[in-house]
Structure 1
Amino acid sequence: MEFPSWLHAAVGGLLGLLVGSFLNVVIHRLPKMMERRWAADYAEMSGQEVVEQEAFNLVVPRSRCPDCGHQIGWYENIPVLSYLFLRGKCSNCSKPISARYPLVELVTGGLFAWCVWNWGLTPTAGAWCLFTAALVALTLIDWDTTLLPDDITLPLLWGGLIASVLGWTGVEVTSSVWGAVAGYLSLWLVYWGFKLATGKEGMGYGDFKLFAALGAWFGWQALVPIVLMASVIGAIVGIGMKLSSSLREGGVVPFGPFLAMAGITAMLFGPQSILRVIGLG
């Protein structure tokens, strides 16, 4: 018996809500885990005693309210519904819960539903679901911390190459490989050109890896549309933040979130549609 497309999309959306709930944990904890690793590595290299700390990873300890320490029960962790039931407040101390948590869940759920609607319950849909989940996490981690963790960018890069080999992205393997190479080298050259000209760093190495990953998923032909859209969005947001005096200390606006947004746009509408949107198509 063949089920209707909308039912497949609903299953994908439900899975996306659950994955989005997990992404909230990743976004919050992964940068802290990286900081712990760096601190331990520094202590070891400098000959200091490495102090054993309480286990902290994506699984333990259980989630708690950052204000009162209340341990969140399973019934308080149901995607979107718990937030609505709790009226956006901690059940113990009534401190507001950020609306970003249900938003991440809804966005991830919507993207998963779109992937399954478009490709059905297939390995192709699964690959693109993982692609979107990685970009959602990278967008918010980079926005919060200006970090693009190798723990996500490198698997995303390899995932694009493997998906190309398996025929899940519709991108030829040669185009995927050269997309990864050109994506990395292009921003690497921009980085060093800017640094030699100004003495400042305009972006981080994580941006090179993310752009390489996008090249692996879409092929080298998509790199120009993606970086153009990312630059346009970044310029608009940066100008808006400057005018509203909301720039963070040092005036830093991370580029990774805009690359990720352009990557999701390329998945939804096709890379060439980006050129049309910005008037070059």
Structure 2
Amino acid sequence: MSISVRYPSVEVVTGILSGLVAYTFGATWLTLAVLILTWSLVVLTLIDFEHQLLPDVITLPLLWLGLLVNTLDFGFGISLEEAVIGAIAGYSILWAFYWVFKLATGKEGMGYGDFKLLSALGAWMGWKSLLLIIGLSSIVCAILGLIMILAKRSDKSMPIPFGPFLAGAGFIMLIWGPQISSFYSNAVIG
């Protein structure tokens, strides 16, 4: 009986991401919390790619854990107020996009799990990170969709799950958020 290449690949990627978290945050309680977030993002990515579903049993505890981490001030530098606003704004922004798209096209452009995942990321990283998370995830998702269409691996009607791109952008902001925000402020805003 052979083992699918997927299993060791996921383990290697998860190990690399875990090492990056430990290197970035050091031996702290925050590292433990961020590892839980990271592992959950990996699981959510796999589930969403396979089933186009982001289960509440994972997204909602992540939201509460993000609020708890910022309430206990583990060193993330996000106030509880910023975390609560981030959670509310994360959900509300994608909810608004969902309804604008649905009213304009009659189709659902994303699922409610995407709202909850962005809400959780907002609870962890605050409202200021949301536009960069949305922008980065949207750009990468659009590029992948275009590549898939050009490679004839998909057509325009085939849905692409957005959760993995939110998860990836969230992880990038988690690790390199201050550097990305600084670059964005200097290069784009001026």
| Fold match (TM-score > 0.5) | yes
2:94 and 2:178 map into 1 onto residues whose CA distance is 19
- TM-score (structure 1 length as normaliser): 0.63
1:275 and 1:232 map into 2 onto residues whose CA distance is 19
Choose which of 38, 53, 66 in structure 2 pairs with 1:147.
Answer: 53
Contact 2:66 2:123 in 1 (8 A): yes
Deviations 1:107-142 (A, max 9, x none): 111122222222222211001101100101111110
| 1:266 maps to 2:156 | no
User: One-letter code of the match for 1:117?
Assistant: Y
User: One-letter code of the match for 1:180?
Assistant: A
Choose which of 116, 127, 132 in structure 2 pairs with 1:209.
Answer: 116
Choose which of 126, 144, 162 in structure 2 pairs with 1:255.
Answer: 162
* C-alpha RMSD over aligned residues: 1.9
Contact 2:149 2:155 in 1 (8 A): no
Contact 1:226 1:274 in 2 (8 A): no
Q: Which residue pairs with 1:81 in the alignment?
A: none
Contact 1:226 1:271 in 2 (8 A): no
| 1:118 maps to 2:24 | yes
2:62 and 2:20 map into 1 onto residues whose CA distance is 20
1:192 and 1:275 map into 2 onto residues whose CA distance is 32
Q: What SS class does the counterpart of residue 203 from structure 1 fall into?
A: coil
Contact 1:230 1:261 in 2 (8 A): yes
User: One-letter code of the match for 2:10?
Assistant: V
- TM-score (structure 2 length as normaliser): 0.91
Structure 1 unaligned regions, length at least 5? 1-89
User: One-letter code of the match for 1:113?
Assistant: G
| 1:106 maps to 2:12 | yes
2:73 and 2:28 map into 1 onto residues whose CA distance is 12
| 1:194 maps to 2:101 | yes
Structure 2 unaligned regions, length at least 5? none
| 1:162 maps to 2:68 | yes
Q: What SS class does the counterpart of residue 251 from structure 1 fall into?
A: coil
Shift of 1:151: 0.9
Q: Indicate the structure with greater helix content.
A: 2
Larger radius of gyration: 1
Deviations 1:161-212 (A, max 9, x none): 0000011222111000000000000100110111111111000000000000
Q: Which residue pairs with 2:131 in the alignment?
A: 224
1:242 and 1:276 map into 2 onto residues whose CA distance is 32
| 1:239 maps to 2:146 | yes
2:9 and 2:47 map into 1 onto residues whose CA distance is 15
Q: How many equivalent pairs are there?
A: 186
